[in-house]
Amino acid sequence: MSEKTIVVVTGANTGIGYEAVKAFLTASQPYHIFLGGRSPEKVESAIKSFGDTGIHALVPFQLDLLSDESIAAAYAKISSEVDYIDVLINNAGAASNIPTSRAALIQDYNVNVAGTYAVTDTFIPLLIKSSNPRLLFLTSGLSSLEEAGQSDSPRYFNPPPGWPKPPGPSFLSYRASKTALNMIMIDFDRVLKNDGVKVWCISPGLLATNLGGNPEALKKMGAEDPYVGGVFIKDVVEGARDGDTGKAIRRNETQLW
């Protein structure tokens, strides 16, 4: 382990990414964290909100998953400051709050699958130089194919006959994109096995973030504070789930595919 654990977090100015950074700042061992976000101003504001970070270093960078130029610029900035990174946390994502359509599917796949793949592919040269490299992808409990088909699941709903069906909170484009992201993780686990990279999909549970558009509505559905997701990520980075690499993991179990 290096003197400081060097971490890159995408989508770090809000939601679970922000809470992961907050959790890292409680550690007794120092972290050097690069916080990425689409808006440099929002990332700077997030860093200021943490106040005195003590032994830890926080460094902002701009990142838009829809822009290859932005991804390349982020890599150029970080690689000019450090020779390697220990952890890449692919947290940034999108959830279309519109009925399922070609446009919604393309939007969520472009961010959650293609964008996340591009970031990972770009940063691998830095990651594999670490003596203890870790690669995390933020997935969702809604991505489980097996659970989606269980008729006794609270997420399973049979609308009345006829077409078109009434609109409902299916989030199909988001769910499908996260299922595809699980496959991305599996393949990176395969190709990076001989490089010693530990790889996971993190399924943090229902948390009251802005991703679904309405944190208060999520709380009424039983959503927990996003900070528990941040602590979960920190625990994985610090070795708590090293026996579950190559899997989609929840805080207390392995998620069914």
- The pLDDT tens digits along the chain (257 residues) read 448 999 999 999 999 999 999 999 999 999 999 999 999 999 999 999 999 999 999 999 999 999 999 999 999 999 999 999 999 999 999 988 788 899 999 999 999 999 999 999 999 999 999 999 999 999 999 899 999 888 887 667 788 899 988 766 568 999 999 999 999 999 999 999 999 999 999 999 776 566 655 666 555 656 677 889 999 999 999 999 999 999 999 999 999 99
Tell me whether residue 4 is one of the annotated catalytic residues.
no
Tell me whether residue 140 is one of the annotated catalytic residues.
yes
Strands (E), 53-118: 57-62, 87-90
DSSP secondary structure of 62-116: E--TT-HHHHHHHHHHHHHH-S--SEEEE-------S-S-HHHHHHHHIIIIIIH
Catalytic residue among 70, 96, 130, 140: 140
Catalytic residue among 18, 117, 143, 178: 178
Tell me whether residue 18 is one of the annotated catalytic residues.
no
Domains and CATH numbers, the chain: 5-154+165-249 (3.40.50.720)
Say what the pTM is. Answer: 0.93
| Residues 19/226, Cβ–Cβ less than 8 Å | yes
Catalytic residue among 109, 173, 174, 234: 174
